Every structure is written in C-alpha cells, then in structure tokens.
C-alpha cells in the first residue's frame, strides 16, 4: 500500500471516503483502492499534470487585495469526492423543494405580501433589508421564478447528514469550476472512469440555456440570450466567458446594450441593433440600471428595468431576488416551505441565532468562543468570525459590532464539517469541505448531480472559500462501481 495513506486519520469527523475504521465507503471503494495502489511518485506526477492542465486551460480566479487584483490558478485537489446516487436523490429532492418555496416567497414579497401579513416572517426584517428593492413591487416574472440560478451551500456534520448552511440567490458563482474540475479529473485519472458509472455534469450549460430560453418573452425557437458581465477585472470573469461560450450566448458589457423608446433592450452589433430576449446578469442589481438604482453605475444599462417591468425582457436572476439571499431570512425557510407548499422540509437547516432577537443575542454574546458569526449580507467568507479560532480581541470586536447593529448579524454553531482525503505536500491528509450544488428554476426545476466541492486547504481550517485560500475537488455522484 502507498505509504502516504498509512497515517491517514480523520479523527472524530465524518470522512467522505473512509469510515472510522479506515475502510472505504461504498461509493469510494474503487477510488481508494486505485490511489492506494499507485506508486508514490506517480501521484506526484498526476498532481503536476493537473496543475499543468489548469495553466493550459487558463482556469483562474481573481483575488482582490489592497495592493491590487491578483489572478491565480484555480486551486484543485486530484482526489475526488464520491456520493452515492441514492443519497443524492434525497438531497436533490430537498433542494428542489427549497427552491420552489424561496421563489414563492420572493414573488409574494413583491406582490400580495401574505406571508408578512400572516406573521410567518416578520415584515420589518424583510422590508427594512438592504436587499429588498421597492422598485420591483408589483412585478411577477414568468412562472413566478425570480431566483433562476441558486447555489445552496451544504455541509455534512459528524452525524453524516447533509444540512443547508446558506442559500446564494443573487449572482451565485462557481459552476464553471465544477465543470472544469470534472474535465481535469478525466485527464489525470482516466482509469477510474472505466470502472465507475458517474452522473455527468457537462450538460449544465444546456440545462442553463433551456432554463433561460423558457423565460423569453418572445415565443420563438431561438431567443437572443446574453450574459451581462462587469468585465475582465471581475473575479468571476472566467466563469462569465465560459458559460456564454458553452451556451452559445452573447457575452456583453453594459456599454454593448441600450434600451430604446419601445422599452426593449438591444445589443449593438456590426450589422445593426439586435433585440435581446433574456439577460443572465452577473452584476449586482444595484449597478444594473442607473435610472433606477445607483446613478453613478457605469456597468449597467439605462432603462433595463423599464424593459423588464414592461415584460419585454427576462432577467436572471431577477432584480430583487436578493431579498431572500439574507442570512436572517435563511432562518425562516422551513416556515416558508410549510406555508407555501404545505409540506415538511426535506432538508434540515443549520441552527441559526438571530442577533436581532434579545434572547438569541444574549446567548451569542455569552458564547462567542463557540460560534461562527456572520454578517447578514456578505459573501465569499468576508466579514465572518469563527469563534474557536478567533483571538480574544477579535471576539470583543465582534461583540461590539453585534451590539451596534444586531439586525446585521447571525450566529451558528461551529460544525464538525466532514473531511476528505486531500493531497497536501506529498502526503494524504484530511481537510474540511462543503458542497455547492446549483439549482435552476424556470419552467421546470433542475439540480446539478453533485456540485462544487470546496476544500479548506489549511489544516484545521473551516473556511473553504477560494478568496480565503480554499481549494476544490471533483464531486462524483456514483450510480455503481466495480
């Protein structure tokens, strides 16, 4: 056996590939056997091949620093994560249920507001949220779908169950890296694909196109779909270009579009204006239309909101959908499922303390050393504090922040995030991880088979975000293995 595996020990954490006795889990038997049988130097060679493929394929992301923006190669671990198709079917069904309820909630908030009137969700925390956009009041997009692309972050606790940690409903990113992770793994571990039946992920662009096309206000065979990007300096520009090319859609910036007197949006081309039917926006809604939101925005399209409200243009995700992308609102999603769908939630949420509630706030302030504290509307791992790993000074800083603006903070228990074997410095070590599947909702609801597994590359760390030093793995949903 390869010596790199002999000392592997995930401790008390649930490990994705190995049981507590060191035996491979059902979905991972072939993976573990193959990797253990590889000569030690060959694992190094295959990792080097993966790094070369990442450079050749130009897979990168941007980290914003005080000294400027830095483009980095995508951090990738070659050891895949494996989940059985049977287990994933339950997760997928739960995510579809969650997506339907969230979209019902957004549509209700901007129209009848029944859930607020009935006191299921407190009206003040919704209507006073920075993500609530009164400019969207009275609009109901096709199929009642606002958050057409959702990335829900899942974690597995030591009990082995998946929990929803949070939902990303504004401009969720990472799906291109999910697709590229599979492509890289096929290059460097081709033998494994001969012995496994793994659900494919490469149909995501076609599923995304199908979802976006279903939103078109014009009933025509091939609607004009455009991906609206802030430009090459955005951290996710690689993904914007990747998805546009994969779908056969147009990649545009705000200056490429204009709204005419007929309240339709057109794209400037060498052959003259072309009407755009659907825009997949990858810019924050505050910058999308200087006529309605930020007047100083140079990224958006003046009049685009007029076109959307007139029903002449579909926008995904719809402006205003961020009202449900709030870590305070997250705590009420199980109630939304019961209220709108008359069903019990199929997936559990992580226990969440709302600092705006006096009882919760007192508990959080007394237990900062045990909790993870997050601002309600940040993303990318910014502005959070992991209590057990924080200094006393940092905990005092967050106590002051909570007391000065309790509505803006939530807290959750420090979970025993699952681990997976990860190739670090020529040895195999356990690292904590999460999973971001992507849910598409238009005429139908569809969930990726797996998603983007993000890995905390630093030993003992629970922060998996790439902007904070995290990496990723290929995620396999396994129907069968030999």
Tell me if the bond preceding 362 is cis, omega within 30° of 0: no
Indicate the pTM of the whole model: 0.92
Residue 16 makes CB contacts below 8 A (sequence gap 6+) with 25, 28, 81, 82, 83, 156, 418, 419, 420, 433
For residue 460, the model assigns a pLDDT of 87
Q: How far apart are CA 305 and CA 287, in angstroms?
A: 11
**Dihedral in degrees, nearest 10, Cα atoms 120, 123, 127, 133:** 30
**Dihedral in degrees, nearest 10, Cα atoms 243, 380, 475, 101:** -80
For residue 426, the model assigns a pLDDT of 84
Annotate the chain with three-state secondary structure: CCHHHCCCCCCCCCECCECCCCCECHHHHHHHHHHHHCCHHHHHHHHHHHHHHHHHHCCEEEEEECCEEEEEECCECCCCEEEEHHHHHHHHHHHHHHHHHHHHHHHHHCCCCHHHHCCCCCHHHHHCCCCCCHHHCCCCCHHHCCCCEEEEEEEECCCCCEEEEEEECCCCCCHHHHHHHHHHHHHHCCCHHHHEEECCCCCHHHHHHHHHHHCCCCCCCCCCEEEECCCCCCCCHHHHHHHHHHHCCEEECHHHEEECCCCCEEECCCCCCEECCEEEECCCHHHCCCCCCCCCCCCCCCCHHHHHHCCCCEEECCCCHHHHCCCCHHHHHHHHHHHHHCCCCCCEECCCEECCCHHHHHHHHHCCCCEEEEECCCCCCCCCEEHHHCCHHHHHHHHHHHHHCHHHEEEEECCCCCEEEEEECCEEEEEEEEEECEEEECCCEEECCCCEEEECCCCCCCCCCHHHCCEEECEEEEEEEC
For residue 65, the model assigns a pLDDT of 47
- Residue numbers of the chain with a pLDDT score lower than 70: 1-3, 60-73, 379-381, 467-468, 480-482
């Amino acid at each position: 056996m390869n010596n790199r595996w002999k000392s592997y020990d995930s401790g008390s954490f649930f490990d994705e590939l190995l049981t507590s006795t060191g035996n491979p889990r059902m979905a991972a038997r072939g993976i573990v056997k193959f990797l253990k049988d590889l000569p030690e130097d060959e694992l190094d060679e295959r990792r080097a091949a993966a790094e070369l493929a990442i450079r050749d394929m130009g897979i990168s992301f941007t980290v914003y620093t005080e000294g400027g923006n830095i483009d980095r190669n995508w951090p990738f671990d070659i050891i895949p994560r494996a989940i059985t198709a049977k287990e994933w079917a339950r997760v997928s069904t739960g995510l579809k249920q969650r997506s339907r309820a969230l979209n019902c909630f957004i549509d209700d908030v901007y129209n009848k507001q029944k859930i607020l009137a009935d006191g299921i969700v407190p009206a003040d925390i919704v209507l006073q949220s920075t993500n609530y956009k009164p400019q969207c009041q009275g609009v109901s997009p096709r199929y009642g779908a606002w958050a057409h692309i959702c990335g829900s972050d899942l974690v597995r606790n030591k009990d082995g169950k998946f929990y929803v940690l949070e939902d990303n409903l504004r401009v969720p990113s990472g799906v291109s890296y999910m697709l590229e992770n599979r492509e890289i793994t096929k290059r460097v571990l081709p033998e494994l694909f001969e012995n496994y039946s793994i659900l494919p992920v490469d149909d995501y662009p076609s599923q995304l196109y199908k979802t976006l096309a279903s939103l078109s206000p014009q009933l025509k065979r091939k609607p004009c779909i455009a991906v609206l990007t802030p430009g090459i300096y955005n951290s996710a520009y690689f993904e914007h270009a990747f998805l546009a090319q994969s779908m056969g859609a147009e990649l545009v910036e705000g200056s490429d579009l204009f709204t005419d007197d007929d309240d339709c949006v057109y794209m400037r081309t060498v052959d003259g204006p072309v009407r755009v039917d659907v825009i997949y926006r990858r810019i924050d809604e505050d910058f999308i239309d200087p006529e309605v939101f930020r007047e100083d925005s140079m990224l958006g399209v003046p009049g685009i909101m007029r076109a959307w409200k007139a029903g002449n243009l579909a926008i995904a995700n719809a402006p205003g959908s961020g009202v449900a992308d709030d870590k305070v609102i997250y705590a009420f999603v199980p109630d939304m499922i019961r209220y709108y769908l008359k069903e019990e939630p199929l997936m559990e949420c992580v226990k969440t303390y709302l600092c705006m509630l006096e009882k919760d706030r007192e508990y959080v302030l007394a237990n900062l050393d045990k909790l993870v504290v997050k601002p309600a509307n940040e993303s990318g791992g910014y502005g959070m504090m992991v209590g057990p790993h924080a200094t006393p000074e940092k905990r005092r800083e967050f106590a002051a922040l909570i007391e000065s603006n309790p509505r803006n903070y939530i807290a959750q228990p420090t979970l025993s995030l699952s681990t997976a074997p990860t190739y670090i410095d020529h040895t195999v070590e356990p690292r904590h991880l999460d999973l971001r599947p992507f849910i598409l909702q238009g005429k139908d609801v569809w969930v990726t088979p797996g998603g983007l597994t993000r890995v905390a590359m630093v030993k003992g760390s629970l922060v998996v975000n790439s902007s904070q030093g995290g990496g990723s793995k290929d995620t396999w949903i396994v129907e069968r293995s030999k």
